[in-house]
Amino acid sequence: MTKAAAVIERFEQFAPQTIAEKGDPVGLQLGSLTTEIKKMMITLDVRPEVVAEAVKNKVNFIFAHHPAMFHPIKSFDLAVPQNQMYAELLKHQITVYGAHTNLDNANGGMNDWLASALNLQQTSALLPKRELPLQQLVVYVPQVAANSVRQALSAAGAGTIGEYQGCSYSTDGTGRFLPGEKTHPAIGQPLVASSVTEEKIEVIIRPNQAAKVIKALLAAHPYEEPVYYLTAIHGLNEKYGMGRVGNLPQEMTIKELAVFCKRVFNLSGVRVVAPDLHRLVKRVAILGGSGGQFYAAAVKAGADIYLTGDLSYHTAHDIYASQLAAIDLGHHVESICKPQLTKLFNTWKQENNWSFPIIQSKISTDPFQFF
């Protein structure tokens, strides 16, 4: 059986919690990461009808984009539908994990999926790029054990740079030490000064990998007291940012793009902010979820039109006045995450020999209907 912690650890190599927006309640929502997964379900939202679906399908691990618990519970009054939903989750021992703005910010995540669905080309982050902090792990190893230690570090996830895995650098040197009276040295004898040919191994790790990598290092290293240290590094750090801006393969009118969006994202309707529906557009900015406040970034990026959700009345007026056009796709457009996450998790399932089934929620959690 595979525990939820192992599945989340793999996901967070792709979208670590450290890249979530400040204050966003990502991560474990309910239950325990020691849960042995019997069946996993992927959903956009955790709503009462989704929980009922999970119970019916004997799911005991829900992976959601939107956190189930945005606000702390002040009193567990079961007359409140949200609290009753939590009670159902606990009753049926269903663990819930939420990946929100870390998935939005991740390279290859939510906003890349949306941009790809529109065939946007030459895309870049819409909002200012930030860096995912990386660290360098340095360890000194007797040369005879260097290969086994390198393999252990790689297996724990160290040495991943972009699409390259198992990256490391070594230099040879001489280690010198005097074992104390109560030591049990792997090389040499107590109270006898020794020297040994060693390798200095350097690897890159993400901060969320440190505990696992160091545990693997200590298990593989032959010394009683291995010498290692971590330092922050700059230059190799992965860049990430929310939203995307890119170019359509060919110009479209705003009306044509609105119709295209409805078809591509299977939407019942969209709201359009534009003085002229027949104006041609090519450069498109898109940000999944509620992105009205970021329209100025689309203007700055030279976009002809901005696609997002939850535009308010006054924000729409400001967009109109700025000469930028906009299409409100609705927040539910992020349901694109269900097939995309399912594809990702099935790939990792094969790589890690996970045996549990993975299903998508079939329920639409869009609260709006169009007439």
Average pLDDT over residues 220-243: 91
- CATH class in words for 4-105+335-360: alpha beta
Average pLDDT over residues 71-76: 85
Assigned fold of 120-129+241-329: 3.40.1390
Q: How confident is the model at residue 128 (pLDDT cuts 50, 70, 90)?
A: very high
Residue 206 vs residue 315, higher pLDDT: 315
Quick check: do 4-105+335-360 and 133-233 share a fold?
no
Domain ranges of the chain: 4-105+335-360, 120-129+241-329, 133-233
Average pLDDT over residues 5-24: 93
Q: 3-state SS string over the chain?
A: CCEHHHHHHHHHHHCCHHHCCCCCCCEEEECCCCCECCCEEEECCCCHHHHHHHHHCCCCEEEECCCCCCCCCCCCCCCCHHHHHHHHHHHCCCEEEECCHHHHHCCCCHHHHHHHHCCCEEEEECCCCEECCEEEEEEEEEHHHHHHHHHHHHHCCCCCECCECCCCEEEEEEEEECCCCCCCCCCCCCCCCEEEEEEEEEEEECHHHHHHHHHHHHHHCCCCCCCEEEEEECCCCCEECCCEEEEEEEEEEHHHHHHHHHHHCCCCCCEEECCCCCCEEEEEEEEEEECHHHHHHHHHCCCCEEEEECCCHHHHHHHHHCCCEEEECCHHHHHHHHHHHHHHHHHHHHHHCCCCCEEECCCCCCCCCCC
Q: Which residues are annotated as a binding site?
A: 65-66, 104, 331, 334
Q: Which residues are annotated as a binding site for a divalent metal cation?
A: 65-66, 104, 331, 334
| Arithmetic mean of pLDDT over the chain | 95
Q: Is residue 367 pLDDT above 90, yes or no?
A: yes
Average pLDDT over residues 264-280: 97
Q: Look up the CATH number of domain 133-233.
A: 3.30.70.120
Average pLDDT over residues 166-185: 95
- Quote the pLDDT of residue 227: 95
Average pLDDT over residues 120-130: 95
